[in-house]
Amino acid sequence: MTWLPVGFVHPVRVELPGGYHLRPISGTDADLDYPTVMGSRERLWSIFGEAWGWPAETMSYEANKKDLERHADEIAAHESFNYVLLDEACTAEFGCVYIDPPEKAGADAEISWWVVDERVGTELERDLDALVPRWIGEDWPFERPRFIGRDLSWQDWLRLPDAD
């Protein structure tokens, strides 16, 4: 069995309260994404650094753009998904959601997400925290999704055996 069923169509827009939405990220988002990521880099590194080596302190705009282009290619191929959290006008980025095939045993998908430093502890973060598990359960074909940083810590995830 492949990671996703043949014919699965991924969502292209997901609404959140307050005029926010998620949509698949692309290379054209680099102008918003780079300052957003680098503006929250220290906290993001504390979450994702050990597992993903991201975001590096020395990450350049061009490296970030290439990373976003790679994500867009992975989305098109249904290999993994990166959704960007935007305001209604698409003029500000507030975070991302990642939906990936399992690297570790015991799940059929691994999901993680973040918001910018300025939105930690706010209603937007609470709305995203409530939305993601519900959205995955309703719109995605997973039976055993793992919410890394939520169901278990990143440190516990790193200790799990690799998926087959």
DSSP state, 88?
Answer: T
CA atoms of 48 and 143, how far apart (whole Å): 25
Do strands 14-16 and 20-24 pair parallel, antiparallel, or not at all (unpaired)? antiparallel
Chain segment 65-87, per-residue pLDDT in tens: 999 999 999 999 999 999 999 99
To the question of domain 14-158 being in CATH 3.40.630.30, the answer is: yes
The domains of the chain are located at: 14-158
What is the structure's pLDDT at 19?
97
pLDDT of residue 97: 98
pLDDT at 17: 96
- Residue 14, helix vs strand vs coil: strand
DSSP reduced 3-state for 159: helix
pLDDT in tens, 95-119: 999 999 999 999 999 999 999 999 9
